Structure 1
């Protein structure tokens, strides 16, 4: 610990914080050998009164899903019974303790967060994660997620790693080399005899003060070399250290080297397993004695090398045949029932060539990894299985499964490489179609532009005679991609092709009905497709979506059916169910889409507080999962509320991404939000210019109709009545066919703007009547505003005041400040003033406290709030104590006041 006082103080501060009941996370980063593990040892020694859980990443175990998480959680699994049921089930499935559907990795993260918080109730908990760069990907993601969500549990997490990208978003301590004086002192402590001063200076300079290098390099050199001109050179520092280890290994007996290789190949460090495997190799206990005497191997509750680089040197210096021999012994020694995956992996490493039996075992391991929610591990098993498969056709099948797993793991580049490998083999017609489908899905993940629909169409056409169900799903995906891209020509082309999809052999599923309805909508026209659209909508509204169908079909049902039909009630029900099912399933990859869609429907209903609460949850989900924000909901909410700066900021952030991805629907929503904001502020020329920018087809849903609605108002106010009339003609084609109060009310309000003379009054009253029966209060308030403005211009001031005052109060109540100010200006022009808002006095809560208070008022329990906000139950309890203190209340019931 020479020269490490600042680092030790940071670690000591973390222990003090955790002991006081708060939580902290820290990353200790530095190159190999710089002393990260020594700092972790210091932390453990000084964590008096704390429970310590220690995890170490092992390079040869990186392919086993949740292997690192199992190390951490196994000693405290007795506390899992305190977790909410779906979290407990997710954790059990991930660790292979129970069967169930593959859990979302972030739901597993919530379970681990809760488990650590429960463990810390007994006494503060310190979790130490060494060699993070060698953790399996699933464990690394979960542990980083947990560390970012720590608040007030009494839990500390410290990660030691080599690379900054291994754990991001956490405070870190960068550990560098020792200062020259400390480095010389450390070097002198291990030199075996006299040495030349210039040699010492060169060692210190070239090792850059790396403690392990200073300790290890002199061990392999003679006194003459040290005294007469030894100097490290050539290789990089880790390589020099490995060379030092190799020199120390050279004098050991062959039996000892074989035992060390066996220990290096067994990542768990289980002495019982190693000794059992040693018996297969004819090695006895005496083989370990030279390695133990030299300090290279420590045997206790676990077999442990002095340093990970030593393990690396032992393993990689052995010949391929020697490595296969020890892996074969480990496979024989591993229980095929208790740990079949590790046994399969060792057997695969022992295989010298193709072996179908081993490949089949790996295939079964891939299935188990997939079921535990470890697609990256599944991909590794599938890839190795493919390498060992003697039959070319079967090999291609396994490569395709590996590519699918890589795609699910969020590794599109790796999936693309595997697809190229699959294409090099003999492909069946079905396999060729699957290659095209997976390539299209990978492209859609990376970019939602216009190049994706043709790829999906090609795959769907190939699948028609091979797999009818998959062909229909692929056509539906193609429609989804085309609508994202925002190209009407592309949507029509896909819809025409989808009409040729094979009919289902039994009762059509909700997805089948959706495909038929959307395809008919863009081929036969809106009016002809109404009955199919309604039938599809009813299918999605009747109950939960089938487990075999993707949750994203809910989004498409809302986007392509409910908003195309101007059925706000049905759309509201779909988005509510979408959010509920995404939460219940723990589908956090889909949840941001569901939350954003739900925000849109709540904003259109005038429930802006509820939409804002969902916006906070959306931010929480996005931050917790390090995902990409889907800002449609937040953008429209900010525009309706009249928050000019925030709307502009969201547009600036989102426009580049939408443009780069070729996501036409995103560009359309940007134009809608800008034009809406411009009209609310009275910037009619700007609103008209923005609406004209929207070069996207009007037939693709409410977002495109939203632009047309704003264009009509802005064009009338700017004197461009011909443009307004043209937009109105296109609008009424759809609203007349839908025959809903929402659509007909919007059309009437837009028509009233263009109606001359006394006839306009009847049209405005018709709009108010229609919109009053629909659940779209902001649009109703706008109808009152426009009618009031028309009455004022007709010099009917008393009647105008009534309409304008109604509009002003509705806007103010909903929190639509820009529209409220516009109504207030019009009221002043009539000689009246708007009523002032009653002064409210509230104690200032933080944003998270406000969110928790809202959820308590909704009736959620502490565990439910914790799950919703990705916090531990203890953190929610801590926040509630602060809320009660600030509001001077003592119970949850008092929050309703």
Structure 2
């Protein structure tokens, strides 16, 4: 089976061809399809791709091929595939356009997030398919560079209704994790009859029956083996079975066969083939430029082409990747270096390929080449190609003559590995760097990177101590980096919470004042406030933390500063019972993370923002956050606990969904050492059970949530739930102790949110007129805040108290208001409590349930809610990581199911947004 085979000439592949033709038919009807053709070298994957291309009449066909020597160049394979369509780049949403343009080196910009690049490619391919269906064929996918492989796998998982087919061909033995979850077709060997028939086409003379059987057995139906193995034997061996070669792996035998066919070729032809093998993209201009420098005449191509080993057309194309590897293996080191050197001179437009060729041509340390590689690493890093940057830095270090510079470049390679998420190789490089002559700043950076790896890889409770050590070492060397590291250490301590070492927290608080040198710098003020919280206590720290919150609210925040600081400031705002700062800062955190395409940070930002939205009682916005977090988690493969879903389901009173999530989250956060996650999970459980009136069950999680004050806001909320559950179960001593701890904070905070919650909690432990005054104070104070959920709970508790006092008419007023608020906010547990209390007063409240008209799917409900808020298809697609065309496809189904014809009509017919969101 040759590369030129088409359609019916693919012997023994009827089933595979029919499946591929059906795939094309589906794409022509507006669907998308993804398939991985997996099989050994020579099994016929490329021939099937050729057949697919020939079958795709009236479709766009785009092709790319992975090349082993190209694996160190970021986005090289992706650029091959997208290059024909880059004139459409300006049609993408601005963040996507900038991300993809930066990745391809077409424009300067901030380092793009790899998932934003993936979304940009999805949008680009979808846009191309608007004209006619698009078929993308990626051969030798096992040799794609890492950035391209991950991006294309991301796109493949998000294709749905774009009329795009994305087909990968890869080796069966390749550990290509990027493609493991995609639909596959295993390309097996031909059956015996087809194998024998194909073998006959390769013969030009007699064949001994024993030799025939041996070749058939050895080839195992591999078409290329059937065609090539006879060529590796002499006529005597074929006719009489004399001198049969010894056994070796089939791929090696085929490569050996190609090698045998290379040896008789003229020397210049072999050198030309070697240059073509080393030049990764088949650029004819570059190849002939290198050939001229090597003194290879143009006629040297003819013998190789006549032997069927290579094609010289618009691009250079080997008959099979094994021909490329055979040409490579046939050369000695000196020949390879000469070819790389010639290619470096011939490569004028691509500085990174030129630098790589120069590096491979170098035999001795060469600072000029190392510097050029360093520049390539910087360019790769700016495009988001961290794995490529690491490779450039590593090779630069190998070529660096000066030991000090060499150690610094190894450190740079470790940093790039860390950014790529390759933690074990990064640690190995750090060990290598430490063995070199690092200066004090270099050793401090080693400490910092070890700490960052510990924090990023598992949120380990080792991270605070390691970050503290790094920050101390950085103080006399780089005060700004030290300040940032101290803030990272505080983030790590807050995250670890109960799992952090008390000594680390005390030592961290003691060390911070040395790094806070600017009394007007908001970062210094925030650090000072956090240190004061640990050293001096809650009340003493509040004036400082409030100054920091005001500064963060009032001043512009850069992307880098926002991503580093806004999680901590949002938590501090909630801990200070500052509802306005909590709203502003958590909203800004989401905006910055989303606009910057910092998707790893966006999930954390959405978690904080979701809790704020629940407190202010915005169910539609909360449901939208859960939708976005679900899409983000799926798109990025994140394994972070489902905090946002767990909290929303608990607030909604949906125990059947919330309790399993809480249990799973607790198991996960304990294993990861995330104390703040444990506190949030316990608080969510207590909130759920109190809302359902299951006070005895709520006691245990409420006590656990409020037991660790170093976990800040969630611990405060845990005390609130503990007071209610303890008071309702007669555990008055427990409730009084929790109230005393809560009051110490709320009195110091002095906000209406804090004092309103304290008054409501104190009323639960009071009787008569004092209780009533406290309930009224709570309602008045909370009514002045944005925190509608706490206001609704105050009205419910007051109404319950009034009913028990026998004041039914007064109780109805409060219970009606509570029932309406809870129903509007989608809190069915609390709403049902209010309904039952109203029933006990003699008044019936309608029991409202969520209706999902015509059974909208989860994704349809997500899209419908966003469309009802007048988001465009592009905006919806960007938020949910799907293409605008898929959004439109879903919207047509939504309109049909809901019986509407426009977005304006959606808000009037959608079910309650908080309830319609499908369970996770």
TM-score normalised by length of structure 2? 0.94
Structure 2 partner of 1:185 = 197
Out of 263, 267, 270, the position equivalent to 2:283 is 270
- 1:627 corresponds in structure 2 to 638
Aligned match of 2:672: 661
The Cα of 1:735 is off from its aligned counterpart by 0.8
Q: Distance in 2 between matches of 1:797 and 1:894?
A: 41
Q: What is residue 777 of structure 1 aligned with on the other side? A: 788
Tell me: CA distance 1:693–1:562, structure 2 relative to 1, closer, same or farther (3 Å).
closer
Distance in 1 (alpha carbons) for counterparts of 2:40 and 2:527: 55
Matched, 1:237 2:250: yes
Question: How many Å separate the matches in 2 of 1:500 and 1:428?
Answer: 25
For 1:421 and 1:792, locate their aligned partners in 2 and report how far apart those are by CA, in whole Å.
Answer: 73
Alpha-carbon distance, 1:443 to partner = 0.7
Q: Does 1:714 align with 2:725?
A: yes
1:125 aligns with 2:148: no
Secondary structure of the equivalent of 2:167?
A: strand
Find the partner of 1:7 among 11, 16, 37: 16
1:307 maps onto 2:320 in alignment = yes
Cα distance in 2 for residues equivalent to 1:536 and 1:494: 22
Shift in Å, 1:404? 0.7
1:353-390 Cα offsets, whole Å, 9 max, x none, are 21100000000111111111211111111111111111
Question: How far 1:799 sits from its partner (Å)?
Answer: 2.6
In the other structure, the counterpart of 1:280 is 293
CA contact (8 A) 1:852 1:865 kept: yes
2:49 matched to 1:37? no
Q: Which moved more, 1:320-329 or 1:14-23?
A: 14-23
Distance 2:337 2:677 in 1: 54
Greater displacement, 418-427 / 805-814: 805-814
Shift in Å at residue 853 of structure 1? 2.5
Structure 1 position 816, deviation (Å) = 1.0
Partner of 2:177: 165
Give 2:823's match in structure 1, choosing from 812, 822, 826. 812
Q: Which residue of 2 aligns with 1:549?
A: 561
| Number of equivalenced pairs | 893
- Is 2:153 the counterpart of 1:144? yes
CA contact (8 A) 1:469 1:504 kept: no
2:462 equivalent among 431, 448, 451: 451
CA shift for structure 1 position 728: 1.2
Question: Residues 691 and 829 of structure 2 are in contact (CA less than 8 Å); yes or no, is this contact kept in structure 1?
Answer: yes
1:456 is displaced (CA, Å) by 0.7
Partner residue of 2:351 out of 331, 334, 340: 340
Are positions 1:585 and 2:596 aligned together?
yes
Instruction: Identify unmatched segments of 5+ residues in structure 1.
Output: none
- Pair 1:224-2:233 in alignment: no
Structure 1 range deviating more: 293-302 or 493-502: 493-502
CA contact (8 A) 1:76 1:119 kept: yes
Change (3 A) 1:550 1:607: closer
- Asked whether the 8 Å contact 2:680–2:705 carries over to 1, the reply is no
> Does the 8 A contact of 1:449 with 1:484 survive in 2?
no
Q: Does 1:376 align with 2:387?
A: yes
1:455 CA displacement: 0.6
- Native 8 Å contact 2:282 2:317 kept in 1: yes
Q: Deviations over 1:610-665 (max 9, x none)?
A: 11111111111121222234522221111010111211232243223212211111
Greater shift, 851-860 or 232-241, is seen at: 232-241
Rounded Cα–Cα distance in structure 1 between residues aligned with 2:877 and 2:151: 17
Aligned residue for 2:692?
Answer: 681
Q: How do 1:854-865 residues align onto structure 2 when only pairs under 5 Å count? A: 854-865=865-876
Tell me the CA shift for residue 601 of structure 1: 0.6
Q: Is the 8 A contact 2:414 2:430 kept in 1?
A: yes
Q: Is 1:321 aligned to residue 341 of structure 2? A: no
Match of 1:493 among 485, 491, 506: 506
Please report how far the alpha carbon of residue 680 of structure 1 lies from its aligned counterpart in structure 2 after TM superposition: 1.8
Deviates more, 1:355-364 or 1:374-383: 374-383
The answer on whether the counterparts of 1:177 and 1:208 sit within 8 Å (CA) in structure 2 is: yes
1: CA distance, partners of 2:331 / 2:850: 79
Look up the match of 2:799.
788
Native 8 Å contact 1:736 1:744 kept in 2: yes
Q: Secondary structure at the match of 2:561?
A: coil
**1:360-399 alignment, distance < 5 Å:** 360-399=371-410
Query: For residues 46-87 of structure 1, what are the alpha-carbon distances to aligned partners after superposition, in whole Å with 9 as ceiling and x for unaligned?
Result: 101111110001110111111112111221111222222222
How far apart, CA to CA, are the structure 2 residues paired with 1:693 and 1:180? 68
Task: Quote how far apart the aligned CAs of 1:855 are.
Answer: 1.9
Tell me if the contact between 1:566 and 1:743 (Cα under 8 Å) persists in the aligned partners. yes
* TM-superposed deviation, 1:766: 1.6
The correspondence for 1:113, drawn from 118, 122, 127, is 122
Q: 2:667 & 2:554 partners in 1: Cα distance? A: 39
- Establish whether residue 637 from structure 1 lines up as the match of residue 648 from structure 2: yes
**Range moving further from structure 2, 565-574 or 185-194:** 185-194
Distance in structure 2 (CA, Å) of the matches to 1:348 and 1:138: 22
Give the conservation status (yes or no) of the 8 Å contact 1:479–1:491. no
3-state SS, counterpart of residue 127 of structure 1: strand
Q: TM-score, normalised by structure 1?
A: 0.96
C-alpha distance in 2 between matches for 1:711 and 1:562: 22
Q: Cα offset for 1:697?
A: 1.4
The aligned runs of 1:510-525 (5 Å cut-off) are 510-525=522-537
Measure how far apart 1:707 and its partner are: 1.8
Unmatched 5+ residue regions in structure 2?
1-9, 909-920
**In angstroms, what is the RMSD of aligned CA positions?**
2.0
Q: What secondary structure sits across from 1:499 in the alignment?
A: helix
Contact 1:552/1:590, CA 8 A, preserved across alignment = no
Residue by residue, what CA displacement relative to the aligned partner does 1:102-154 show, whole Å, maximum 9, x if unpaired? Answer: 11122222222222122222221111111111111111122122222222222
